[in-house]
Structure 1
Amino acid sequence: MGLLKMKFTFQRRVRLAQGLWLLSWLAVVAGALTFSMGVFLKAELLRRAEVMDNTEIHAVPNTLIVVGLASLAINFFAGRICQDSLDATRFSRWKSFLQPYFVLSLFFTALMLVAVIMSCAMKGNLEESLKIGLKNGIRFYKDTDMPGRCFQKETIDRLQMEFRCCGNNNYKDWFEVQWISDRYLDFTSKDVKDRIKSNVDGRYLVDGVPFSCCNPASPRPCIQYQLTNNSAHYNYEYQTEELNLFSHGCREALVSYYMGLMNTIGGGVLSVFILQMSVLVSARYLQTAIEALAGQENMEAETEGYLLEKGVKETIKEKMDAIKKFLQINEVDAAAGEASAEAAEKPAPAAS
């Protein structure tokens, strides 16, 4: 018994072919949009590559790019099938391509769903990547003269100003690193010497932050140095001075930004997935309804269309049996090949 059988008159087959033609071209446009979303997301991730630690998070945009390109080809092919579907002679030439078409369509449609799930489940990897990347970015902030790190300071400053954030978790992260380059320190100064000697690593640590942490919404001029010293500034209490610096860390800001981006893209790709499934189901109904006309003289006769010729369990069992049979044949061929090789290597008996 077939799965989800439906009756198709000639008029219904015509309408199905026309509807599928329209859906397939809509899916081509959707495939182009999927590809564009993948490229955009990858470009956004590459923009912040200096503050990210691993490449696993590129799995989502890479998948979207591959699926988008595949969708363009698959749905263009479906559109061509629709154009020839009402002519038995022209449709017959596509018959050998239909099985690979359905296999590839199912694979890439499932991959599209995987991309949606990955985009929602990427938060953990993203947080870990930013945690390490931002920590290194802050640590290398002062290395403006070192090849490969010359633009690290500019990257961090632009990041903090654009996302209105400070540090990795908060502004206190800057207290733990030397972010002022040695070339701008006066080593004859007693204060500089005392600060360098005050820690085992020999770093110049201050309770201050770069200018990019300053909040322009603050009503007073920004206080960057001696942030924890209330007596160093008039009418100042660092524990309650909320507007002076950006209050939240850049990791939180970037995770929020990228997860918002991925969730929006995930919703768009889910819509494309539904559209792609509609194309796949419609194409299967059209194929089976037209193939039922084989051997009939009346090309306008009523036919049956279905998704599966048998039930789900029977179809799965049949496919598994075919795979097992194929593997057994390969094993027999391999064993026969090994036996032949051994026989060829075995020396012939000496003549008496």
Structure 2
Amino acid sequence: MALMKVKFDLKKRVKLAQGLWLMYWLAVMAGILVFSMGLFFKIELRKRSEMMDNNESHFVPNLLILVGLMACGVNAFGGKICHDSLVPAKFAKWQPMLKFFLGGCVLFNALLFFTALLCFTMRIALQFTLAEGLKNSMKYYKDTDTPGRCFMKRTLDLTQIEFRCCGNNNYRDWFEIQWISNRYLDFSSSEVRDRVMSNVEGKYLVEGVPFSCCNPSSPRPCIQYQLTNNSAHYSYDHHTEELNIWMHGCKEALLSYYGGMMNTIGAMVLLVTILEVGVMVGLQYLRTSLETLANPDEPENESEGWLLEKSFKETIAEFMEKVKSLGKGAQVEAGEDGQEQAVATVS
């Protein structure tokens, strides 16, 4: 028995076809939006690719770009079918391929849903990528004369200024690395030599941060060095001077920025998926209502449309039987090939 059977007359079929045509072109615009968001997200990641540990984070924006292009093509084709369905002669040429087209739509909707899930879960992958990438970037901050790293200082400074952050987890991360190049250190100074010699790895470590960590809202001039030494500065307590520098790390700031962006894109892709499912269901009703016309030359007659030709349980069982028969066919062909090879070897 057909699932969710509905009766259609000419007026209902025309309204359905026209409504689907509008929805398909709305879905084309949604596909363009998905493509644009994927491109925008890819550009945003490229801006800070130096601070990321690998290129796996570009998989999701690349998938969004691909899905957006596919949505434009699929929905434009569906809109053409709905437009031609009003003329029986034109619709007849599309009728043989409609089942395959609807099957492709099911797979495409599954891909859309998978893409939306990836958008929501990408924050986890970004967390590890940014944690390691920022840590390495801070180590290369001083290498302004090294090819391939000469722009790292600029990238990190702009990031800390734009996102109002300091360090990886917090500003104390700068205390653990040498971020001042040896080129700008006076090794004739006993203070510099003592500080370098006192470090096991021979690094010049200071309790200081780059200028980009300074908060411009601070009422006093920015204190960048000896941040935890209250006696080194007049009327200063590093526990209460929260306005002096940015207190939170760039990892959380960037995760919040990219995470919010991906949640928005994921929600948008989910809405596009719902729209795609809606037009797919509508096209199935349109197809079946036109196929069940007793006489295609008399479109005024009533016809029936349905979502599935059989019940959901029967449809699943039939699908599984087809899959099993395909598997058995592949095994038989493999066995025949093996026998032919054995005969050829013996002869």
What is the TM-score with the length of structure 2 in the denominator?
Answer: 0.97
SS of aligned partner of 1:304: strand
Aligned to 1:244: 244
SS of aligned partner of 1:236: coil
Return 142-151 or 51-60, whichever deviates more.
51-60
Please tell me whether the aligned partners of residues 24 and 75 of structure 1 are also in contact (alpha carbons under 8 angstroms). Answer: yes
Q: Quick one: distance in 2 between partners of 1:56 and 1:169?
A: 22
Q: Quick one: distance in 2 between partners of 1:96 and 1:148?
A: 57
SS of aligned partner of 2:165: coil
Give the letter aligned to residue 232 of structure 2.
Answer: A
Aligned-residue sequence identity (percent) comes to 55
Aligned to 1:132: 132
Deviations 1:76-130 (A, max 9, x none): 1111111211222221211232122112211121211122222112222111111
Q: Quick one: distance in 2 between partners of 1:15 and 1:295?
A: 20
Q: Quick one: distance in 2 between partners of 1:238 and 1:229?
A: 8
Unmatched runs of 5 consecutive residues or more in structure 2: none
Aligned to 1:350: none
Aligned to 1:336: 336
SS of aligned partner of 1:94: helix
SS of aligned partner of 1:242: coil
Q: 1:334 Cα shift?
A: 2.2
Q: How does 1:1-352 map to 2 (within 5 A)?
A: 1-293=1-293, 298-347=298-347
SS of aligned partner of 2:7: strand
Q: Quick one: distance in 1 between partners of 2:326 and 2:162?
A: 59
Unmatched runs of 5 consecutive residues or more in structure 1: 348-352
Deviations 1:166-217 (A, max 9, x none): 0011110000000000100111110111111111111000001000000000
Deviations 1:123-155 (A, max 9, x none): 221111111011011111001111110000000
Return 158-167 or 295-304, whichever deviates more.
295-304
Deviations 1:26-50 (A, max 9, x none): 1111111111111111111111111
Q: 1:222 Cα shift?
A: 0.5
SS of aligned partner of 2:143: coil
Q: Quick one: distance in 2 between partners of 1:302 and 1:310?
A: 21
Give the letter aligned to residue 199 of structure 1.
Answer: N
Q: Quick one: distance in 1 between partners of 2:97 and 2:103?
A: 10
SS of aligned partner of 1:7: strand
Q: 1:337 Cα shift?
A: 2.3
SS of aligned partner of 2:280: helix
Please tell me whether the aligned partners of residues 88 and 296 of structure 2 are also in contact (alpha carbons under 8 angstroms). Answer: no
Q: Quick one: distance in 1 between partners of 2:106 and 2:29?
A: 19
Q: 1:228 Cα shift?
A: 1.4
Please tell me whether the aligned partners of residues 163 and 253 of structure 1 are also in contact (alpha carbons under 8 angstroms). Answer: yes
Q: 1:221 Cα shift?
A: 0.5
Please tell me whether the aligned partners of residues 288 and 304 of structure 2 are also in contact (alpha carbons under 8 angstroms). Answer: yes
What is the TM-score with the length of structure 1 in the denominator?
Answer: 0.95
Give the letter aligned to residue 74 of structure 1.
Answer: V
RMSD (CA atoms): 1.3
Q: Quick one: distance in 2 between partners of 1:206 and 1:200?
A: 14
Please tell me whether the aligned partners of residues 63 and 111 of structure 1 are also in contact (alpha carbons under 8 angstroms). Answer: no
